[in-house]
Amino acid sequence: MKRFIIVLGIMFIAFGMVFAAENALEIFSWWTGGGEEEGLMALFKLFNQYYPDVKIINAAVAGGAGTNAKAVLKTRMLGGNPPDSFQVHAGMELTDTYVIPGLMEPITDLLKEVGAYDKFPKALIDIVSYKGEVYSVPVNVHRANVVFYNKEIAKKIGMTKEPTTWTEFLMYLDKAQKMGYVGIALGDKNKWTSLHLFESIMLAELGPEKYNKLWKGEASFNDPAIKRALSIMKDILKYVNADHSALTWQDATRMVFEGKAFSNMMGDWAEGYLKTLGWKPGKEFGWFALPGTQNAFMLVSDTFGLPKNAPHRENAIKWLKFLATVEAQDTFNPIKGSIPARVDADKSKYDVYLQWSMKDFSTKAISPSIIHGSAAPEAFATALMDAINKFVTEQDVNKTFKEILWIAEDNDYLID
């Protein structure tokens, strides 16, 4: 019995020692693969150059575009065991899930103090704000509404200039199909990709102004433009690969690389993927904004926030200040294959595609993405995702439109 108590005592002390790592900083993210993990490591290294005595704990959770990590994070936040800072998509994913329940600390003053507040585009600051206070630091920006295409196939089908209207685009898709290629590759095994495509079409038909108003309750979902978007989606689906539901987005992007498909509509992480496969932007592959969205930038932005009761709050603040610097943003983004959220970053560090994207980011209208958690609460996004997935199979425009109205109503977005 005595020995047992001694063993128990030693276990407790050891336990305590592990968790009392005094000068630590726990960073939670879902960056575990490819360029994103390398980028994160580069950030950690740079951070340690400034603060060599802070020990960084990398609490990354792998899998499924962050879905697994989000579940883990929710459990930790609920259990009162938050990490010091965590990755979260700008917008409702942050606001609805963590800010409104009062789990986050505002960091407006922090950004003002380091002179970074006005270095982000106003539309982006709006997305990470709630009731006038900023709640997270945007680190990178991805553009969602981009079509990447195989230049060799483009030449074969006689495409001399990038299409700007649906008629032109559909004509090229048709030509590609007639020559034995898949017009537009889709990989919707993980479901979100079909909503990714649809939300960009919706943005094209509504226009960025009306689209952005939807989320503020200033525009109605009961809009013929949404129905039009569904019909366009139906037209596009004629040129999609038959095995789309067996593939992931990487598989779909790969079809463009392998010369099986003419194009792929995907966020610009696909550009990073094509580069890792060995292609050079502008040489083997080209890109254009999805027709109708040339004047809009569908934004996906990763940000880091400050949870209340962060165990190492001082270090977390150092981390957030650090992320807001040009140096940190220019270290991370060229590796990850995204553009910096700050508009005053060094353009020469980025490739042709990213420079194009940076130019558009500072000049075009910024719209939040639904499926990537920026525009609407997760309940809305997942319900819409299910509806669009049924649509991909059934292709019933009226039925899906009705369902979209129901989902909007369920989430208090229907205003008439």
Partner 1 sequence: MKKKNVIIGIFVILPSIIAIAIFVYGFISWTVRVSFSNWNSFSKLLRGVYKFVGFRNYERLFQDTRFQTDLWNTLFFTIFFLFGAISLGILMAILIDKGLKGSKFFQNIFLFPMAISFVVTGTVWSWIFAPGTLPANPQGLNLLFQKLGLDNFMWGWYTSTYSLGKFNVALIAVIIAAVWQLAGYTMAMYLAGLRGIPNDIIEAAKVDGASEWKIFWKIKMPLLKPITLSALIILGHISLKIFDLVFAMTGSGPNFVTDVPAIYMFELTFRSNRYAMGSAIAIIMLLFVAIVIIPYLVSSMRGEK
User: What residue ranges bind partner 1 (CB under 8 A)?
Assistant: 67, 70-71, 74, 78, 96-97, 100-103, 180, 182, 188-191, 241-247, 260, 377-379, 381-383, 386, 389-390, 392-394
CB-nearer residue toward partner 1: 151 or 260: 260
CB-nearer residue toward partner 1: 130 or 148: 130
CA-based nearest residue to 300, from 270, 258, 255, 260? 270
Q: Which burial class, exposed, middle or buried, applies to 247 when counting CB atoms under 10 A from its CB (0-12, 13-18, 19+)?
A: buried
Q: How far is the CB of 100 from partner 1 (least distance, A)?
A: 5
CB-nearer residue toward partner 1: 70 or 175: 70
CB-nearer residue toward partner 1: 157 or 182: 182
Q: How far is the CB of 246 from partner 1 (least distance, A)?
A: 5
Length of the chain: 416
Using H for helix, E for strand and C for coil, what is the string for the chain?
Answer: CHHHHHHHHHHHHHHHHHHCCCCEEEEEECCCCHHHHHHHHHHHHHHHHHCCCCEEEEEECCCHHHHHHHHHHHHHHHCCCCCCEEEEECCHHHHHHHHCCCCECCCHHHHHHCCCHHHCCHHHHHHCEECCEECEEEEEEEECCEEEEEHHHHHHCCCCCCCCCHHHHHHHHHHHHHCCCEEEECCCCCCHHHHHHHHHHHHHHHHHHHHHHHCCCCCCCCCHHHHHHHHHHHHHHCCECCCHHHCCHHHHHHHHHCCCEEEEEECCHHHHHHHHCCCCECCCEEEEECCCCCCEEEEEEEEEECECCCCCHHHHHHHHHHHCCHHHHHHHHHHHCCEECCCCCCHHHCCHHHHHHHHHHHHCEEEECCCCCCCCCHHHHHHHHHHHHHHHHHCCHHHHHHHHHHHHHHCCCCCC
- Please state the separation of Cα 134 from the chain's center in Å: 19
Q: How far is the CB of 347 from partner 1 (least distance, A)?
A: 37
CB-nearer residue toward partner 1: 59 or 123: 59
Q: How far is the CB of 182 from partner 1 (least distance, A)?
A: 6
CB-nearer residue toward partner 1: 151 or 191: 191
Q: How far is the CB of 410 from partner 1 (least distance, A)?
A: 9
CB-nearer residue toward partner 1: 243 or 330: 243
CB-nearer residue toward partner 1: 77 or 214: 77
Q: How far is the CB of 114 from partner 1 (least distance, A)?
A: 30
Q: How far is the CB of 303 from partner 1 (least distance, A)?
A: 18
CB-nearer residue toward partner 1: 60 or 103: 103
CB-nearer residue toward partner 1: 160 or 398: 398
CB-nearer residue toward partner 1: 149 or 322: 149
Q: How far is the CB of 67 from partner 1 (least distance, A)?
A: 6
Q: How far is the CB of 29 from partner 1 (least distance, A)?
A: 18
> Taking CA 408 as the corner, what is the angle to CA 404 and CA 410, rounded to the nearest 5 degrees?
115
Q: Which two three-digit tokens encode residue 203?
A: 């943005």
- First vs last C-alpha separation in the chain: 73
Q: How far is the CB of 387 from partner 1 (least distance, A)?
A: 10
Q: How far is the CB of 119 from partner 1 (least distance, A)?
A: 31
CA-based nearest residue to 226, from 240, 239, 214, 238? 214
